Amino acid sequence: MKRRTLKRLRPGQLPEHHHNVYVVLLEPAVGKIRKVRAENPKRNPKKPCIYVGMTGLTPVERFANHKAGTKAAAVVKRYGLRLLPELYEHLNPMPYEAAAQMEKDLAEDLRRAGYTVTGGH
C-alpha cells in the first residue's frame, strides 16, 4: 500500500500515530500450560487468560493474521477466541515507542489485576 493511500484511509491522525496495543481472549486451557503458570504466579483462576500484543495494523487485522498463521503467536493461533477491546480501545492509536512501552505496561497491569497474561514483551 502506498503512503498516500494510507493517509486517505486514516484521515485526521498524525502519520506517526498508527500503532496499537491489543488484548486477545484465550481459551481457559492456556492456564494449564506450565510456562504460562510460571509467568503468572499470582493469577486468579476466575479471571480469563489473555494475550497482549502491539501492532502497526488495526487490532482486528492483526488478530485475523494471528488466526491465519501470518507472523502468529502460537498461543493465539491455537487458543485465541476474540479481541477484548474494552481493555485496550481507550489507549489507541499511538507512536511506535509509546506502543512498545504500553504493551509491557498493560501486560504487567493486567497480570497484577489477576489475569493470566501471555505476550506483552
What residue spans define the domains of the chain?
A: 17-119
What is the DSSP code string of 50-108? EEEEEESS-HHHHHHHHHHTTT--HHHHHHEEEE-GGGTGGG-SB-HHHHHHHHHHHHH
Report the range of poorest mean pLDDT among 12-21, 32-41, 75-84: 12-21
Q: What is the pLDDT of residue 12?
A: 54
Question: Rounded to two decimals, what is the model's pTM?
Answer: 0.86
Q: How confident is the model at residue 5 (pLDDT cuts 50, 70, 90)?
A: very low
